[in-house]
Amino acid sequence: MTAVHRRSEQARQAILQAAFDICQQKGYAGLTIEGVASRAGVGKQTIYRWWSSKGTVVLDAFLDALGPTIDVPPAGDHLADLRRSLHSTADLLSHPRYGPMLADLVGALQHDEALAADFQQRVYEPIRRQTTERVERACAAGVIRHIDANLAADLLFGPLWFRALLMRQPPSTDYVDEVIDALLRGLAGSTPGAGGRE
Amino acid sequence: MTAVHRRSEQARQAILQAAFDICQQKGYAGLTIEGVASRAGVGKQTIYRWWSSKGTVVLDAFLDALGPTIDVPPAGDHLADLRRSLHSTADLLSHPRYGPMLADLVGALQHDEALAADFQQRVYEPIRRQTTERVERACAAGVIRHIDANLAADLLFGPLWFRALLMRQPPSTDYVDEVIDALLRGLAGSTPGAGGRE
Amino acid sequence: MTAVHRRSEQARQAILQAAFDICQQKGYAGLTIEGVASRAGVGKQTIYRWWSSKGTVVLDAFLDALGPTIDVPPAGDHLADLRRSLHSTADLLSHPRYGPMLADLVGALQHDEALAADFQQRVYEPIRRQTTERVERACAAGVIRHIDANLAADLLFGPLWFRALLMRQPPSTDYVDEVIDALLRGLAGSTPGAGGRE
Amino acid sequence: MTAVHRRSEQARQAILQAAFDICQQKGYAGLTIEGVASRAGVGKQTIYRWWSSKGTVVLDAFLDALGPTIDVPPAGDHLADLRRSLHSTADLLSHPRYGPMLADLVGALQHDEALAADFQQRVYEPIRRQTTERVERACAAGVIRHIDANLAADLLFGPLWFRALLMRQPPSTDYVDEVIDALLRGLAGSTPGAGGRE
DNA sequence: AGCTAAGCGAGACGGTACGTCACGTCTTACA
DNA sequence: TGTAAGACGTGACGTACCGTCTCGCTTAGCT
């Protein structure tokens, strides 16, 4: 009744490890299925059997290696938790090895719907959920003004990814703090009533 | 002294047009030099003679088609000018045809240093410069609080790109206004002195 | 003492039937072990356990289906028996389904020593033996001139296979008779002593 | 108007040479397009561009190497010319290197219509034509009895190919002479009127 | 007006990787 | 222990493009 000769865990790990290594060394574009198969000592078919594209392999490899580090446990102070989440993301983006890999992965997302959905579900949603919860708690505690939690998450994480992907200058620790402080303070100046709407 | 047979303007335009069309129809990944050459009725060599990679062709094609629309002329009110810049970017990212193409292009940036530099110089810098100037003028006018202009630009544009690239939900017009309003207002809540730094 | 689970006759027949069917439909080259296993509803291993190569499977399938028809029972008249043997072979080679299959099989022989030996022993030798015996009896009866029986067999069957394999025009019934008649008559012309030896 | 950068003669020869060498060393079945490309220092596409299958490559390689030897110039005596043609074919079939290769090629013919047609036209027809002409001249000269030239050709060459392909015992020089002598003499015995027709 | 050097279209070339197919071996669960 | 099922490492398939090259043409500017 059940499947027989089940999937080889050894092959799975060898493949993910090889993919991760190659992606670090030669970048996402330099990673080929043949290369992964060869380095993992595995047949190409074994890769195609379980993954639909090189993007999904890399995503799996990424999560297998870094998944645990993405989650930032809470420490009580809502605002501080948020700040630590941002630092964690900034650190990842700034990491000499994982940063470019992650950026590459996001790049690949742009022309691969399936990969994008996978990334959304497995990487982005968890972070998002954690963030919005913390924003909501901070709102409830009166630490930050009432605001749509998703919008707040965009305001917090947007600048980090922006620098990493568009300007290709991964965000430093100080930069994260500057972003948060500026956000808390707000941009509004002394001239009352200004809003610029036309 | 001068070249005997100058570059064919006709070939150049045919190539950029073909590249633009293919990129829209099949995405950046589906665009090949052979495909462009074939559609443009041009020899491959003619492409390789004048462009160093497919990324630069696409970038040129993009700028040739959309360059003018990127620039947003000022209208006097500094804050309104900024707002219109953001709307312009949001509209581009939300455009059914150009949005995905632009996202693809930014995706390709992540593993192509030369393309990244080119993009930086020809697309990003002009927008950046315009933005920071307006921020500075708005600061000087007291419309917005004193802030590093680059940081402000990140805060403004970051969320837009974030939604487009990471969440793959291009920013709507309303969303842009929500971002600006929230930024002006600031996140800080009623509880005084909170900052969350550890 | 005895095996606990003896070879499954059902599987054996399903395999040979599947092999025969596939070979007819897609030719020897289009027959694969996987295809046979799949059509027979059998594990590949079951095939590999009992046959050493696809050639041997096909040979078995061929003999299983056509073996009986190869043997041509004698009817008394030695020459007529020979003639009927030739007709039988010609009919097989001309059969719209089995002819090409047999030709394919002989084709495969050319690069498969084991298969060649098997074919030799199981297909060719029986026919050969039958033929040489009939030739010898015909000699003894004075119906045909004294001649090495193997040579005579070659002279009789050679032209048939030649047309089938080299010219790819399977021998017709009439052709067989023309061959026999010409052989009986001999080629020698009226000019005496001619032999052409150098 | 004409094609530009015409086919590389150097590549063509390297490919045919490589194919010939591999076919001798590893047999027709052991020859792969990849192997030929690799040994010839050539891209696979270059082979696929000019040949439709591995059979046609091998056929070309065969003709390139042995074509000239197939033709047997006449020496005046019609019967002797025929005898020399047979010896030539027998020698080829018996050659330790070319014999198996030729047999393999004929084997491949059995499941490749295009190759069969090519072989027919380029290998078989020339020999056939030569043979039938000589038979006709020998008839006219009265050296051999009047007979359909095609039938005579089958009677002459059939036994040789039969031994090579079916019995896998390439015909020796003596065997050729035995065949010819027996054919000239005829099989008919002393018993008059025998024919065996039913 | 003729010469000549560049740009041009075409497309062959040696390569790399693609995604698929079948090989023959293996492991597992069932009968 | 034989079997159906099917995963595994291997290697070839035929295709798509890569970036380089060579060819024969067209054309512009200089003698």
- What confidence score (pLDDT) does residue B194 get? 46
Distance set, CA B190 to CA A131, A178, B183 (Å): 20, 20, 17
Amino acid C50 CA to nucleotide F1 C1' distance, rounded Å: 15
The Cα of B100 is separated from the nearest Cα of chain A by a number of Å equal to: 7
Neighbours of A6 (CB within 10 A): 7
Please provide residue D145's backbone torsions phi and psi, each rounded to the nearest 5 degrees.
Answer: -60, 155
Answer for A3: CB within 7 Å of strand F.
Answer: yes
Higher pLDDT, residue D29 or B50: B50
The sign of the CA dihedral A88, A89, A90, A91 is: positive
Answer for D162: CB within 7 Å of strand F.
Answer: no
Q: Does A192 have pLDDT greater than 80?
A: no
Taking the alpha carbons at both ends of chain C, their separation in whole angstroms is: 70
Name the residue closest to F25, CA to C1': D1
- DSSP letter for D144, please: B
CA B129 to chain centre: 13
- What confidence score (pLDDT) does residue D157 get? 96
- What confidence score (pLDDT) does residue B197 get? 55
In CATH terms, the fold of domain C3-50 is: Arc Repressor Mutant, subunit A (1.10.10)
The SS3 assignment for C144 reads strand
Both tokens of residue B105? Answer: 């292009």
- Length of chain C as a residue count: 198
Q: Where are the domains of chain D?
A: 3-50, 66-186
Pick from D151, D191, D198: CB nearest C80: D198
> What does pLDDT average to over chain D?
90
pLDDT digits (tens, 9 = 90+) for C135-183: 999 999 999 999 999 999 999 999 999 999 999 999 999 999 999 999 9
- Nearest nt to the CA of C34 via C1' is E22
Q: Does D191 have pLDDT greater than 80?
A: no
C4 confidence band (pLDDT: 50, 70, 90): low
As a whole-number percent, the residues of chain D with pLDDT over 70 amount to 94
Taking contacts as CB-CB distances below 8 angstroms, the residues of chain D near C24 are none
A188 confidence band (pLDDT: 50, 70, 90): confident
**Whether A103 contacts A94, CB under 8 Å:** no
- What confidence score (pLDDT) does residue C195 get? 47
Pick from C161, C188, C197: CB nearest D166: C161
Interchain pair A191, B154: CB under 8 A: no
Amino acid D1 CA to nucleotide F25 C1' distance, rounded Å: 9
Answer for D33: CB within 7 Å of strand F.
Answer: yes
Pick from C30, C120, C186: CB nearest D183: C186
- Spans of chain B below 70 pLDDT: 1-5, 190-198
Domain D66-186 has CATH 1.10.150.120: no
pLDDT digits (tens, 9 = 90+) for C51-69: 998 999 999 999 998 877 7
Q: Does A119 have pLDDT greater than 80?
A: yes
Sole residue written with tokens 């009047």 = D146
Answer for C44: CB within 7 Å of strand F.
Answer: yes
Q: How many helices (H) and strands (E) does chain A have?
A: 10, 0
**Nearest chain B residue (CA) to A144:** B189
Answer for A194: CB within 7 Å of strand F.
Answer: no
Taking contacts as CB-CB distances below 8 angstroms, the residues of chain B near A188 are 144-145, 184-186
Q: Does D193 have pLDDT greater than 60?
A: no
**Nearest chain C residue (CA) to D162:** C158
Interchain pair A104, B110: CB under 8 A: yes
Q: Does C78 have pLDDT greater than 70?
A: yes
Amino acid A52 CA to nucleotide F2 C1' distance, rounded Å: 36
Pick from A29, A142, A184: CB nearest B111: A29
Kindly state the average pLDDT of the residues C1-7.
Answer: 62
Exposure string over C38-74, b if 16+ CB within 10 A, otherwise e: eebebeeebbeeebeebbbbbbbbbbbbbeeebebee
Answer for A50: CB within 7 Å of strand F.
Answer: yes
Angle made by CA atoms C88, D180, D141, in degrees to the nearest 5: 115
**Whether B70 contacts B92, CB under 8 Å:** yes
Taking contacts as CB-CB distances below 8 angstroms, the residues of chain A near B27 are 111
pLDDT digits (tens, 9 = 90+) for C82-126: 999 999 999 999 998 889 889 989 988 888 888 888 899 998 899
Both tokens of residue D57? Answer: 């490559």
Beta bridge partners of C188: D144
As a whole number of angstroms, the distance between CA D113 and CA D120 comes to 10
Distance set, CA C47 to CA C7, C40, C53, D137 (Å): 11, 10, 9, 56
Q: How many CB pairs under 8 A join A and B?
A: 219
- What confidence score (pLDDT) does residue C138 get? 92
Pick from C112, C124, C166: CB nearest D124: C166
pLDDT digits (tens, 9 = 90+) for B114-139: 889 889 999 989 999 999 999 999 99
- Short-list A62, B160, C183, CA closest to D188: C183
**Nearest chain C residue (CA) to D180:** C195
Taking contacts as CB-CB distances below 8 angstroms, the residues of chain A near B185 are 145, 186, 188
The alpha carbon torsion through D47, D52, D58, D62 (nearest 10 deg) reads -100
**Nearest chain A residue (CA) to B192:** A143
Interchain pair A161, B162: CB under 8 A: yes
pLDDT digits (tens, 9 = 90+) for D139-180: 999 999 999 999 999 999 999 999 999 999 999 999 999 999
pLDDT digits (tens, 9 = 90+) for A57-87: 999 999 998 877 777 888 878 899 999 999 9
Best of B121, B135, B150, B154 to substitute, by most chain A Cβ atoms within 10 angstroms, is B154
Taking contacts as CB-CB distances below 8 angstroms, the residues of chain B near A161 are 158, 161-162, 165-166
